Amino acid sequence: MSARLAAEGLTAGVGARTIIRDVTLAFPDRQVTALVGPSGCGKSTLLRCLNRLHETVPGAHLRGRVLLDGADALGAGVDAAALRRRVGMVFQRPTPFPGRWVRDNVAAGVAALGARAPRGAALDARIETELRRVGLWGELRDRLHDDAGRLSGGQQQRLCVARALMHAPEILLLDEPTAALDPQATQRIEELLYALRAELTVVVVTHNLQQAARVSDRTAFLLGGALVEVDDTERVFTAPRDPRTEAFVTGRFG
């Protein structure tokens, strides 16, 4: 099973606090891996380590390796901004740029490409492609010059996914992307995640076990900052190897 991305012996925290401890975990290519566990178990910190956002927190510390195509992304001389173009991120709450058009929000995803960014008709075509991919073109084709802040929460979140996809990431990280959404919007995001796995490696943090069961190929269970178990999602939910995993997925704690 090939893995584009992997953590090896990853330990991270802030100040005197250690949040994740010696996590080794591979993320198979073109699959959705769900990170689950109780609040405070380190899911989001692990996710943010994968594209070096954790190190932007004051007092953050990190040791171990994050391998992207076999090369250590934490190594000296690695351009963190370039890494984040390859490993995109979508956050829990929709983050459209306030006061900017729908079109400009999506186009912002290519700004970091500099001279390689598409322009003119090529940019318009790319915007349409990504809005189609996230299922928004039919809803927004006549609203490209509307303030993105006026969209529904579900539309804003899909817009943020489109923005992340504009710079053609190879891996997409999502931190509880449906936590603030209603059931209908949640379903659309889940359908999008399932479709994206045909093209990308996807890692999603979710507090919703039913969601993990619906959208992921593999599930990793974290507890107290440590990786307890990772396996095919069906096995984790129906025949977990560790009694702590069984207790969590059956609702005895969490």
**Candidate from 24-38, 52-66, 104-118, 163-177 with smallest mean pLDDT:** 104-118
User: Is residue 218 classed as helix, strand or coil in its secondary structure?
Assistant: strand
Once rounded to an integer, what is the mean pLDDT over residues 164-175? 93
Residue 192 buriedness (CB in 10 A; 0-12 / 13-18 / 19+): buried
User: Looking at residue 243, what is its pLDDT?
Assistant: 97
Per-residue pLDDT reduced to its tens digit, 76-125: 889 998 899 899 999 998 989 988 999 999 998 777 666 667 888 899 99
Q: Going from the N-terminus, what domains does the chain have, and what CATH number goes with each?
A: 3-100+169-249 (3.40.50.300)
User: Looking at residue 108, what is its pLDDT?
Assistant: 87
Tokens read off for 218: 């593999």
Q: Is the pLDDT of residue 253 over 90?
A: no
User: Looking at residue 169, what is its pLDDT?
Assistant: 93
Average pLDDT of the chain is 93
Once rounded to an integer, what is the mean pLDDT over residues 159-176? 93
Type of residue at 40: G
Once rounded to an integer, what is the mean pLDDT over residues 16-20? 97
Tokens read off for 130: 């990504």
User: Looking at residue 112, what is its pLDDT?
Assistant: 66
Q: Which helix (H) or strand (E) holds 244?
A: helix 243-249
User: Looking at residue 109, what is its pLDDT?
Assistant: 73
Alpha-carbon gap, residue 56 to 246, rounded angstroms: 35
Per-residue pLDDT reduced to its tens digit, 50-66: 999 999 999 999 999 99
Beta-carbon count within 10 A of 59 CB: 9
Inter-residue contact 157 to 90 (CB < 8 Å): yes
Alpha-carbon gap, residue 3 to 28, rounded angstroms: 4
Alpha-carbon gap, residue 54 to 48, rounded angstroms: 5
Per-residue pLDDT reduced to its tens digit, 121-145: 899 999 999 999 999 999 999 999 9
Q: State how far Cα 66 lies from the chain centre.
A: 15
Regarding pTM above 0.95, the answer is no
User: Looking at residue 211, what is its pLDDT?
Assistant: 96
Alpha-carbon gap, residue 7 to 17, rounded angstroms: 20
User: Looking at residue 115, what is its pLDDT?
Assistant: 64
Inter-residue contact 215 to 193 (CB < 8 Å): yes
